């Protein structure tokens, strides 16, 4: 082959290669900003959704647990984490509670259910549930329609009222559903009603904790308004229709005035000595102590 022809072919190949390189660079320069913008759009959307779900879950399914802060961490165009710092208010004393580390990416959100579900400690029927990070005992509610629990239905009122110089929270489960007005007449004024237990799945509990969610709300200063907010949040949380417990509760209470709504239990907080006023009350099926704190001179209990 003629040397000049070979030279021309080499130059043509180099020009073609250079053209391909230039085009590739241009494509990359155009594609990268689009990819970056698209990635940030989807991760921001997932981040917002996860924030909302975490607040929603706390509002309807975490008895006497408050979110102190919730921030985004390790954020990138591909995803990140949301850190939720939580605590309990026990008659004016803040007790640490587990921190949630939830994650999100372009398509998925993952709530930290590993920390939301309590651990179990003990042997045989001598079991109790605890918060995995703080190791504080978790108070147990007993559904009036579940006859048998793995460790029986506990009543800690006598023991807790004998603790000196402490504040505590106790989950009070009723022998049957009552209206809030009926219950308020029975609760001493020196105790705080901080959460209303409204519904939970009816499952077998005689072989061990089933880890089922419980749904309820903080009645705050206006129980009627708080209830309507709870219903709206419950509808939002159960909008896919997969949770039968939520749908049954919504359907059965759809047209009832607040005064006729039945409550399955309450969580109360106060000084341990004040729980003596609840001992031997016939409407109480079970009473399970949760978080406690020692009273100190520089923090005054709420009641």
- Return the domain boundaries, the chain: 120-294
Cβ-Cβ contacts under 8 Å for 244 (sequence gap 6 or more): 201
Ramachandran assignment for 281, one of left (phi > 0), alpha (psi -120 to 50 degrees), beta (any other)? beta
**Nearest CA to 177 among 63, 265, 254, 286?**
265
CB 80 within 8 A of CB 72: yes
Task: Give the C-alpha separation, 65 to 99, whole Å.
Answer: 11
Sheet strand arrangement including 215-217: 215-217, 192-199, 262-271, 166-179, 284-294
Q: What pTM does this model have?
A: 0.86
Q: Is 50 helix (H, G, I), strand (E, B) or coil?
A: helix
- Render 142-186 in DSSP notation, one character per residue: --TT---BTT---B-HHHHHT-SSEEEEEEEEEEEEEEHHHHHTT
Helix (H) or strand (E) holding 49: helix 3-61
Q: What is the DSSP string of 208-224?
A: S------EEE--TT-HH
End-to-end, the C-alpha distance of the chain in Å comes to 103
Per-residue pLDDT of the chain (303 residues; tens, 9 = 90+): 555 656 666 666 767 777 777 777 776 667 666 666 766 687 889 999 999 999 999 999 999 999 999 999 888 878 899 999 999 999 999 999 999 999 999 889 999 999 999 988 876 567 789 999 999 999 999 999 998 988 889 999 999 999 999 999 999 999 999 999 999 999 999 999 999 999 999 988 887 777 789 999 999 889 999 999 999 999 999 888 788 999 999 999 988 999 999 999 999 999 999 999 999 999 999 999 999 999 999 999 999
What 8-state DSSP symbol labels residue 231? H
Q: In the chain, which ranges are E strands?
A: 66-76, 79-90, 93-105, 109-110, 119-123, 126-130, 166-179, 192-199, 215-217, 262-271, 284-294
Beta strands 119-123; 109-110: pairing state? unpaired
């Amino acid at each position: 082959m003629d040397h000049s022809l070979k030279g021309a072919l080499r130059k043509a190949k180099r020009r073609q290669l250079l053209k391909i390189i230039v085009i590739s660079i241009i494509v990359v320069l155009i594609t990268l900003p689009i990819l970056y913008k698209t990635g940030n759009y989807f991760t921001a959307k997932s981040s917002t959704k996860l924030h909302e779900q975490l607040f929603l879950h706390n509002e309807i399914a975490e008895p006497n647990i408050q979110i102190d802060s919730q921030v985004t961490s390790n954020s990138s165009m591909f995803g990140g984490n949301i850190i939720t710092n939580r605590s309990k208010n026990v008659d004016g004393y803040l007790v640490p509670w587990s921190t949630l580390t939830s994650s999100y990416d372009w398509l998925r959100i993952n709530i930290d259910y590993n920390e939301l579900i309590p651990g179990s400690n003990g042997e045989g029927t001598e079991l109790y549930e605890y918060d995995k990070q703080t190791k504080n005992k978790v108070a147990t509610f007993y559904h009036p329609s579940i006859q048998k629990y793995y460790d029986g239905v506990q009543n800690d009122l006598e023991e807790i009222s004998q603790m000196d110089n402490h504040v505590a929270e106790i989950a009070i489960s009723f022998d049957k559903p009552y209206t809030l007005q009926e219950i308020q007449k029975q609760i001493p004024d020196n105790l705080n009603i901080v959460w209303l237990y409204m519904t939970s799945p009816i499952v077998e509990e005689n072989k061990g904790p089933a880890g089922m969610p419980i749904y309820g709300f903080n009645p705050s200063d206006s129980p009627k308004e708080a209830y309507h907010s709870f219903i709206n949040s419950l509808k939002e949380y159960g909008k896919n229709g997969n949770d039968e417990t939520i749908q049954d509760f919504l359907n059965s209470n759809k047209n009832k005035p607040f005064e006729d709504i039945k409550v399955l239990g309450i969580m109360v907080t106060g000084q341990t000595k004040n729980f003596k006023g609840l001992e031997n009350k016939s409407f109480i099926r079970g009473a399970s102590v949760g978080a406690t704190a020692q009273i100190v001179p520089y923090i005054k209990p709420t009641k």
